[in-house]
Structure 1
Amino acid sequence: MPLPGPAPTILAGLLAPLLATVPLTPARADAPAPAPVHGSAYMGMGVLAHDGQSGTPKSSDATQTEGVDVSGHQGDVAWPTLLGSGVKWAYTKATEGTSYKNPSFTQQYNGSHDAGMIRGAYHFATPDSSSGAAQANYFVDHGGGWSRDGRTLPGALDIEWNPYGAACYGKSKSAMVSWITDFLHTYKTRTGRNAVIYTATSWWTDCTGNYSGFAASNPLWIARYASEVGTLPAGWSYYTAWQYTSSGPTVGDHDKFNGTLDRVVALAKG
């Protein structure tokens, strides 16, 4: 004769709390990280992933002037603190593609100016989403313009690794050069200034074939997180600015302008 025991409903009630603590599907240690959201890219994002993690220049050079670059990731920036630490110029991300504008742009762009810095705006390029002309026009229309006030730097084209897909945005080397040409020509037509080109030598070599044709007109802002700038892209014999770290004080991305403050002013004046 079977021994009496709890009814099935009672057993279910006793087991339910235990079963609830057991994951039905164990988490995978190798699960891929979520894909970046469009608009989340920032200057140097690809450098961190592909070309080094940090950098400190070998020595302090009196002929170089400290700067920073910021994006929506920083939110409101403590500009007086940065100015007090020796930062004299700043670039703020304005746009990406033809649909994103940095929600912190006004505080960052005007705040750096109000603190006494020389400021500029940059555009994160996504060459696979629209033409160079379309993105240049969007940039100028949403904060990337220029004025001859001695305090506004020409706009910068941030062209680097694609954070959302194929490193070269699915373009051949010649197609990439054509896209960049389209952007630069349109920006010059709209503002009267040649845009600054921000890039890394390794990306430039891989994705443009180390094209040298922009060096005569467009200042180079080189990205390399190391103690030295290293080899520059073809055509440029010197750099105008160097992003040397993503882990600097107050704001992570710090830069050196290759000259004294009066040369920063000269670039602003055009």
Structure 2
Amino acid sequence: MRRSAMVLFAAFLLLVVPAVPVGALLTGVDVASYQHPGGMPIDWVKVKGAGHSYALVKATEGTTYTNPYFVDDWRGAAAAGLYRGAYHYAQPALPYSTALDQARYFVSKAGSMTGRLDIGGVLDLEEKGRLTKSQLATWTRTWLAEVTRLTGRPPMIYTGYYFWKDAVGNPTDIGSTYRLWLASYPDDPNSTTYRPLVPAGWSNWTFWQYRSDGRVPGIGWQVDMNRFCCDLAALAALAAGGAGAGAPFGSLDAVSTSSGTVSLSGWAVDPDTVDPIDVHVYVDGTWGQAATADVPRPDVDAALSGFFGPDHGFEVSVAVDSGLHEVCAYAIDATSGTNPLLGCRAVVVSSENPFGNLEVALSVYGYNYLKGWALDPSTDASITVTAYIYSFSLGTWATVPMTASLDRPDVGAAHGHGSAHGYVYQDLRRGVGAQFACLVGTNQGDGANAFVGCSMF
């Protein structure tokens, strides 16, 4: 792209803050006729093979110029599997109808840009003509609105921080509708401390052109290099009409359970803001809990090159009944977009109440014999088990407390919490006839006392 001296000068004046490696962001190129020295074609398969994900191709300038390589590059990028966008180099002038003329000329050459890999059109705004700030802002709005009307999708705008401030006057309304392709060049393109200033009206950039002298296999000349704000799913969402573009993204990293509780953790980012967003949790398809993704996650900050800040993790716990459940987490869009699923997990939630098994209940020659085991999942210690024994012939209850402390390695192997959880009860009770026994385990931590076995004998 051509750049004004003002934009180039801005490269030396941009904000520097602590940062992390930038290698995780998706890269791509933007090309014009300059990338075809001597008519040399671009080998888009090699560009794709070098690890790049997208190409932005110059289509038109003013109302008379069409890039002679546009058609071949447009087709070649898509054939190689690259996402693609087309840009128009603006020549602002009065009357404002020139914006309509240029918008229509651009669309007549670039088409609707609604193919499967198409990320849309761009207004490349680098010249002001002889327009005032207010006039240039109006001219820009006119072009953007006309391309939106003709294609059915809002284009992006390419500009730099200082050009937007000094030439356009920092209008803040445009950024709410049209995404930003930001031009900003560090002295060291691989810098891990450089942060570009974002023009008024945007909270962040979608694409960032960070160098103009890149070398890419398949392209015979120096080429502009770009980074994309987000992940591949977000890039795909920009394509085919832009449905879901700019939606939050993230991950449900871990799910754990404890007594009547499911705990979830992960991260979520909305490319439209650097602020934390909400995460909603559903259990078995019904509302569970909300949380704010504001927990420090330096690993996420590193992966996204620090452009969204470190505080986008979430940790949330939901009370549930014991048993099998499906828990799902959704990232909530900061504006009015889609709320994508971060992930679902199937979990089995156990109670912290004691549990066990009455394995044998016999009355032989007047002797009562009960055998089983019981434990409390909140402790490895042996617990008290109370047997309540009812004689149908006598109509009376006997209450027998005991400690479930006998060695049961089979229980330890199956349930953990050690093996000292067995019990045996023997007692001579002649003439009592048929009986009924229920045993209750005494709770040791969270939870409550619970039946651990009942039987007729």
Q: TM-score, normalised by structure 1?
A: 0.76
Q: Structure 1 residue aligned with 2:232, among 261, 265, 268?
A: 261
**With CA pairs under 8 Å and 6+ residues apart, which has the higher RCO, 1 or 2?**
1
Other-structure match for 1:113: 78
Q: Which amino acid aligns with 2:51?
A: G
- CA offsets, 1:186-208, max 9 Å, x none? 00110111110000011110111
Aligned-pair distance for 1:44?
A: 4.4
Greater mean alpha carbon deviation, residues 232-241 or residues 71-80: 71-80
Distance (Å, rounded) in 2 between the aligned partners of 1:47 and 1:266: 33
**Runs of 5+ in structure 1 lacking a partner?**
1-41, 163-167
Greater mean alpha carbon deviation, residues 80-89 or residues 133-142: 80-89
Q: 1:86 to 1:254 in 2, by over 3 A?
A: same
Aligned-pair distance for 1:219?
A: 0.6
Say whether the 8 Å CA contact 2:48–2:80 is kept in structure 1: yes
Moved over 6 A (4+): none
Q: 1:128 to 1:219 in 2, by over 3 A?
A: same
Q: Which amino acid aligns with 2:197?
A: T
Say whether the 8 Å CA contact 2:208–2:227 is kept in structure 1: yes
Say whether the 8 Å CA contact 2:59–2:106 is kept in structure 1: yes
Other-structure match for 2:99: 132
Say whether the 8 Å CA contact 2:207–2:227 is kept in structure 1: yes
**Partner SS state of residue 87, structure 1:** coil
Distance (Å, rounded) in 1 between the aligned partners of 2:106 and 2:7: 25
Q: 1:47 to 1:111 in 2, by over 3 A?
A: farther
Distance (Å, rounded) in 2 between the aligned partners of 1:111 and 1:184: 27
Distance (Å, rounded) in 2 between the aligned partners of 1:214 and 1:101: 27
Distance (Å, rounded) in 2 between the aligned partners of 1:221 and 1:171: 22
What is the root-mean-square deviation of aligned Cα atoms in Å?
2.1
- CA offsets, 1:214-240, max 9 Å, x none? 111101000001143422111101110
Other-structure match for 2:402: none
Structure 1 or 2, whichever has the larger Rg, is: 2
Aligned-pair distance for 1:61?
A: 4.1
Other-structure match for 1:155: 121
- CA offsets, 1:145-187, max 9 Å, x none? 221x330111000001x3xxxxx21110110011001101100
Other-structure match for 2:200: 234
Q: Structure 1 residue aligned with 2:27, among 66, 71, 81?
A: 66
Distance (Å, rounded) in 2 between the aligned partners of 1:47 and 1:103: 28
Q: How does 1:1-16 map to 2 (within 5 A)?
A: none
Distance (Å, rounded) in 2 between the aligned partners of 1:198 and 1:47: 15
Distance (Å, rounded) in 2 between the aligned partners of 1:114 and 1:47: 37
Distance (Å, rounded) in 1 between the aligned partners of 2:135 and 2:206: 26
Distance (Å, rounded) in 2 between the aligned partners of 1:116 and 1:46: 35
Other-structure match for 1:214: 174
Greater mean alpha carbon deviation, residues 123-132 or residues 184-193: 123-132
Distance (Å, rounded) in 2 between the aligned partners of 1:45 and 1:84: 33
Distance (Å, rounded) in 1 between the aligned partners of 2:43 and 2:158: 24
- CA offsets, 1:104-135, max 9 Å, x none? 11121111111110111000000027611111
Other-structure match for 2:129: 169
Other-structure match for 2:146: 186
Other-structure match for 2:211: 245
Q: 1:241 to 1:47 in 2, by over 3 A?
A: farther
**Partner SS state of residue 171, structure 1:** coil
**Partner SS state of residue 247, structure 1:** strand
**Partner SS state of residue 106, structure 1:** helix
**Partner SS state of residue 126, structure 1:** coil
Say whether the 8 Å CA contact 1:91–1:122 is kept in structure 2: yes
Distance (Å, rounded) in 1 between the aligned partners of 2:201 and 2:67: 32
Q: TM-score, normalised by structure 2?
A: 0.46
Other-structure match for 2:319: none
Q: Structure 1 residue aligned with 2:54, among 89, 96, 101?
A: 89
Q: 1:262 to 1:175 in 2, by over 3 A?
A: same
Say whether the 8 Å CA contact 2:7–2:163 is kept in structure 1: no
Distance (Å, rounded) in 2 between the aligned partners of 1:110 and 1:231: 34
Distance (Å, rounded) in 2 between the aligned partners of 1:209 and 1:47: 14
Alignment of 1:146 onto 2:113: yes
Distance (Å, rounded) in 1 between the aligned partners of 2:195 and 2:93: 29
Indicate the structure with greater helix content.
Answer: 1
